[in-house]
Structure 1
C-alpha cells in the first residue's frame, strides 16, 4: 500500500459532502483499513484504500434527485484522523 496515496485520499474524504449511505461505505472501508493496518495485511489495506478512492461524491444526478448530503459524521472523522496520524508517523521502511 502506498501510504502517501492513502493519506491524500483520506484528507480528501474529510471534506466530502455525502449521503448517509455513502458515509456508511466510507466507515466500512475505514474499519477495513484499520484492521489491515493492525494485522499488517498490505493487500487488504490496498483494497480498502481503493474502496475509499471510489466512494467520492456522485457527480451525476438522477431524475428523482439525490439523497441529502451531509458533512463527515464525527465518529467517522475521528477514525479517519487516527489513520492519517498513524500513516504519517509510520517510518517509510515500515511501509510495504
Structure 2
C-alpha cells in the first residue's frame, strides 16, 4: 500500500470522527471501516481503495430534508474501530521509510 493512499485514508478516518449522521447510517460506516481494515490486512490495495471510496460516500450531506432524523456523532464502538484502523495505518510499514528490521540504512552503514 503506498504512502499517499494511507495518508488519504487517514485524513478520511480523522474526518469521519467528526461526522454527525442519522443513527441508521452509522452501521454502514462501521461496515466500510471493517472493509478497509480487511483489505489492509490482506494487502489488497484495489479493495482498500474501493472501501475508502465507499466510506467517503457515506459522509454527511450538506442539504437535509426537514423530516430527517437529527444527526448524531459516531457511537463509541464505531469510534473505537476507526481509532484502531488509524493506529494500524499510522504504524510502521515495511517498504516505506524505516526498513522492516527497524534499522536505519545509514546507521547500519556507519
Task: Assess same fold via TM > 0.5.
Answer: yes
1:16 aligned partner: 19
Note the 1:72-83 alignment, pairs <5 A: 72-83=74-85
- 1:58 to partner: Cα distance: 1.8
Detail structure 1 runs of 4+ shifted over 6 Å in the superposition: none
1:88 & 1:61 partners in 2: Cα distance?
34
Show structure 2 runs of 5+ residues with no match.
97-110
Highest CA radius of gyration, 1 or 2?
Answer: 2
Under a length normalisation based on structure 2, what TM-score does the superposition of the two structures give?
Answer: 0.77
Under a length normalisation based on structure 1, what TM-score does the superposition of the two structures give?
Answer: 0.87
Q: Calculate the aligned-residue CA RMSD, in Å.
A: 1.5
1:22 & 1:90 partners in 2: Cα distance?
32
How many residues align structurally?
Answer: 93
1:26 & 1:4 partners in 2: Cα distance?
19
Show structure 1 runs of 5+ residues with no match.
none
2:14 & 2:82 partners in 1: Cα distance?
8
SS in 1 for 2:49: helix
The answer as to 2:36 corresponding to 1:37 is no
Greater fraction helix: 1
